[in-house]
Chain A
Amino acid sequence: MNPLARTICGFWLVLLGSLSSCDHALVPEPGEELSAGPGTIVDDTRDAFTHHLPGLERDLERSFLRGRPLFRDNWVTAPASTDSRDGLGPLFNARSCEACHVRDGRGRPPWDGEPFGSLLFRLSVPGASADEPPVPEPTYGGQLQPLAIQALDGEGTPQVTYEEQPGQFADGQDFSLRTPRYTFTDLSHGPMVADVQVSPRVAPALIGLGLLEAVPQADIEALADPDDSDGDGISGRANYVIDVTSGELALGRFGLKSNQPTILQQVAGAFVGDIGITSALFVEESCTGAQADCGAAISGGDPELLDAILADVTFYSRALAVPIRRNWDAQEVLRGKQIFRDIGCASCHVPTLTTGDIPDLLGFSNITIRPYTDLLVHDMGSDLADDRPDFGADGREWRTPPLWGLGLIEAVNGHLYLLHDGRARGHVEAIMWHGGEAEDARAAFASLSAVERAELVAFLESL
């Protein structure tokens, strides 16, 4: 570059610098677009959730790519020639993991006339203490399974209707929230008990799970404030649940109430509960004493799931990468991010965590991640309550869901039904359903101007 060019260039740089400082422009934090640090991939299409962590060694890549078809393929009825793939049901919610976690993404309530797929119902009756699992409903067990192998009937058909409740923001703009009401018909073995507790749960997206599993327990416990000793109105409690491998209580991180301690147990739990595949962790089919035909059905093995398959599907679930953010440096998004902090969202949706050691994924050890969760359970108010305690999480508490990938759910799954049962039709409704510990944040959001609300939404869409 000649001296004149250098001078002109320098002048412009100085001018640009002074302009931005006059403007009080917001600047992104270095690297904040990489939600999972080196575990971040670049894709904003419908495949955005389907990639593995970058740079896996061949052995791990092979495990991941074995895990994918095992996650995706249908399980078949026993006995079948494909002995390692049989044992479906006898009662089940889905024939494959993929059926609910489509493209490793998020489930939703059924559209009009559709059967229930990726929204299931946990069932229990009162009586469990905070260090015990919920007591299953005596006839139908711990979960309603609407489907069955050919020889049996499914347990029943769920139905949902919605009731609209209009409201207004402080600036007069209208919104509407819909409350779901569930009923169950065609129950195969008569009515459920009168005091049944029913908890609807939508299948969550699977990205970044291995990184969340690697956050040191002490770091999560440090975020807890069970008695709200700092007086900020936010309690945040750790849910300690039984690790079936050790039989001991362990910190829960996964499941919508932090009711699973490890990805291994989450995966094995879903195999037995959702697909009817027993494993080394859960050796019993979910048939109750009242369901003799279920108990008598042909088994696909003892247990049905090979340890090798459980290992591959678990690794697959651990190793899904997180997509890079879009528009993270746009002023609108940065202002939205500021509002997110200012009105208190970040108190529970904690922006950054740090992983500990991950022995088989050393490149992802001790890295900063931005999942926007504390993995704790919080009182979300009576409107969202399922009134079904799950270990230490009471009937009003739900886990803070990670928000990374939130802005790509629509691209991946073609919908934006949010919250535990998919009742919210988009970000604004999801925020407006927040209550309990999040009541102040919700009220603050409702008082924002339309522009500020749009900025906050733009931030969420950038995640």
Chain B
Amino acid sequence: MRISCLLLASALLVTACDDGDVTPPDDMPSVQPAEVIANYADLVYTNYQDAYDKAVAMQMVIDAFVAAPTASTMEAAKRAWLEARIPYGQSEVFRFQDGPIDRNGGPEGQLNAWPLDEVYIDYVDGDPTAGIINDPTIEISKAMLMDLNEGAMGDVFGQGDAFDAEKAISVGYHAVEFLLWGQDLDNAGPGSRPYTDFIEGGGTAENGERRGQYLSIVAEIIVDDLSGLVDEWSPGGAYRGEFLAMDDNMALTKMMDGMGILSKGELGAERMDVGLETLDQEDEHSCFSDNTHIDILMNATGIQNVYLGRYEWFDGPGLNDLIRDADPAMADNLDAAFVASIEAINAMPVPFDQAISQNGSPGWMAVNAAVNALFDQADLIVMGGAAIDLTVGVELPE
């Protein structure tokens, strides 16, 4: 037996030499897990830093708008919000792994909770005096708004059973969105809140000054929360240290859990399929601004980023390299799945809200195809994890 093994090995060696093949043999990995993990930490840091920078820019523009509300300063504030959503959307793949964004006490619920309780914040169609803004007995301060917010997902799971049902979602990106765009009552376009809502006695709504204070403070809380995330992941940061000290398989599983759960449970099911099923135009993530198609694309891009180990201008060893070393065919399938889901998302008509509103319409079918592409991709992420001996989750948007 030993002899035949030796013969076989020599034969293989000879074959390799004969072919003049210069690629390393199969058992020589092109990349080590530790490199992929370290690159991921850099990627997360880079992404959060970008989200923070864009949020700081948004805050400055919002403060300028609040100081001098005009149609053009309001437009600038809206553009800054749209810009800020691009890095944040890509960063959502860092959720669902007990990391700083949504572990106990994490700011996810304060940053991005949805659906927003509009009436809890401001007037709405049919209720002109509703909300914190129109209740002068409530002081509008950072501490007060943070205290009044109940961050849905973040809080339910972060605080476990100590969930506080007396609070509603009142801060975060979608609160800024609501204050800038207003309710989307127009089936053909986004909300159209007039800038005069922010002028005391401007004629379109009471409490213009309080509305401006509220908007400024919500922007400030977003910046604070992102600053905390940047710190956690920065070189020398607390969570980065914890993450890099983990067993390789645990760290890799966390990375892939974020991909799998965002792909299937959160993006595919919650953010797209529920709207398809309810046929409700506004059952969409960014319902005031009609920016949902970008949210979806950025979430999907974030998933692909982690796989490839890249972010915008940043690039390094990714999970794709590890999986390719173990199972090239699986890597081919995954490469194709990420491309297919992004293509399917790009094929959805814009705006998303009109695409989903009629069952069986071409738009509805396109969104349905994108949901299936994300589900297929999630199933492949699980298989890709198995190829490098990991057990990956896809179901729990928590």
Interface residues, chain A, with chain B CB atoms under 8 Å away: 47, 50-52, 58, 61-62, 65-66, 68-70, 72-74, 76-85, 88, 92-96, 98-99, 102-103, 107-108, 111, 114-115, 117-118, 147, 149-151, 298, 306, 308-309, 312, 413-415
A47 CA / B265 CA spacing, docked (Å): 15
A152 CA / B396 CA spacing, docked (Å): 35
Contact sample, A vs B, 25 pairs, CB 8 Å cutoff: A65-B264, A65-B269, A65-B395, A68-B269, A73-B115, A76-B118, A76-B119, A76-B120, A77-B119, A77-B130, A79-B126, A81-B185, A81-B288, A85-B115, A95-B150, A99-B165, A102-B160, A115-B166, A117-B165, A150-B130, A150-B131, A151-B130, A306-B278, A308-B279, A413-B161
Kindly identify, within residues 114 to 158 of chain B, every residue whose CB is under 8 Å from any CB belonging to chain A.
114-120, 124-127, 130-131, 150, 152-153, 156-157
Main secondary structure on A side of the interface with B:
loop
A74 CA / B372 CA spacing, docked (Å): 26
Separation in Å of the A333 CB from the closest CB of chain B? 27
**Contact partners of B283 in chain A: CB under 8 A:** 82-85
| A47 in contact with B274 given A74-B150, A114-B162 (CB within 8 Å) | no
Q: Contact between B282 and A82 (Cβ–Cβ < 8 Å)? A: yes
Q: Contact between A306 and B280 (Cβ–Cβ < 8 Å)? A: yes
**Contact partners of A93 in chain B: CB under 8 A:** 165
A95 CA / B270 CA spacing, docked (Å): 18
A50 CA / B278 CA spacing, docked (Å): 23
- From B120, B183, B395, A50 is in contact (CB under 8 Å) with B395
| A415 in contact with B161 given A74-B169, A95-B168, A306-B280 (CB within 8 Å) | yes
Q: Contact between B161 and A61 (Cβ–Cβ < 8 Å)? A: no
| A82 in contact with B287 given A69-B270, A69-B397 (CB within 8 Å) | yes
**Contact partners of A103 in chain B: CB under 8 A:** 157, 398
Q: Contact between B165 and A79 (Cβ–Cβ < 8 Å)? A: no
Q: Contact between A61 and B375 (Cβ–Cβ < 8 Å)? A: yes
Q: B184 contacts the other chain (Cβ, under 8 Å)?
A: yes
| A312 in contact with B161 given A62-B371, A65-B264 (CB within 8 Å) | no
Q: B243 contacts the other chain (Cβ, under 8 Å)?
A: no
Closest to A308 in B: B277
- From A50, A72, A151, A298, B156 is in contact (CB under 8 Å) with A72
| A80 in contact with B277 given A47-B396, A50-B396, A413-B161 (CB within 8 Å) | no
Known: A74-B115, A102-B163. 6 other contacts (CB 8 A): A52-B395, A74-B168, A114-B162, A149-B119, A150-B119, A150-B131
Separation in Å of the B265 CB from the closest CB of chain A? 5
Q: Contact between B375 and A81 (Cβ–Cβ < 8 Å)? A: no
**Contact partners of B127 in chain A: CB under 8 A:** 79, 298
Separation in Å of the A310 CB from the closest CB of chain B? 11
Q: Contact between A69 and B274 (Cβ–Cβ < 8 Å)? A: yes
**Contact partners of B131 in chain A: CB under 8 A:** 150
Q: B273 contacts the other chain (Cβ, under 8 Å)?
A: yes
Q: Contact between B277 and A82 (Cβ–Cβ < 8 Å)? A: no
Closest to A306 in B: B278
Q: Contact between B265 and A68 (Cβ–Cβ < 8 Å)? A: yes
* The 7 nearest A-B residue pairs measured at CB: A65-B269, A84-B280, A69-B270, A77-B119, A82-B115, A76-B117, A84-B278
Q: Contact between A147 and B375 (Cβ–Cβ < 8 Å)? A: no
**Contact partners of A65 in chain B: CB under 8 A:** 264-265, 268-270, 273, 395
**Contact partners of A84 in chain B: CB under 8 A:** 278, 280, 282-283
- From B153, B165, B282, B372, A94 is in contact (CB under 8 Å) with B165
**Contact partners of A47 in chain B: CB under 8 A:** 396, 398
A76 CA / B169 CA spacing, docked (Å): 9
**Contact partners of B168 in chain A: CB under 8 A:** 74, 76-77, 95
Closest to A154 in B: B166
A66 CA / B267 CA spacing, docked (Å): 11
**Contact partners of A95 in chain B: CB under 8 A:** 150, 165, 168
- From A76, A114, A414, B115 is in contact (CB under 8 Å) with A76
- Chain B CB within 10 Å — which of A77, A79, A80, A94 has the most? A80
A415 CA / B160 CA spacing, docked (Å): 11
A149 CA / B118 CA spacing, docked (Å): 12
A66 CA / B395 CA spacing, docked (Å): 11
**Contact partners of A78 in chain B: CB under 8 A:** 119
Q: Contact between B277 and A66 (Cβ–Cβ < 8 Å)? A: yes
**Contact partners of B277 in chain A: CB under 8 A:** 66, 308-309, 312
| A77 in contact with B115 given A69-B397, A84-B283 (CB within 8 Å) | no
| A74 in contact with B161 given A65-B273, A66-B270 (CB within 8 Å) | no
Separation in Å of the A421 CB from the closest CB of chain B? 16
Binary contact track B179-207/A, C-beta < 8 Å → 1, others 0: 00001110000010000000000000000
**Contact partners of B375 in chain A: CB under 8 A:** 58, 61-62
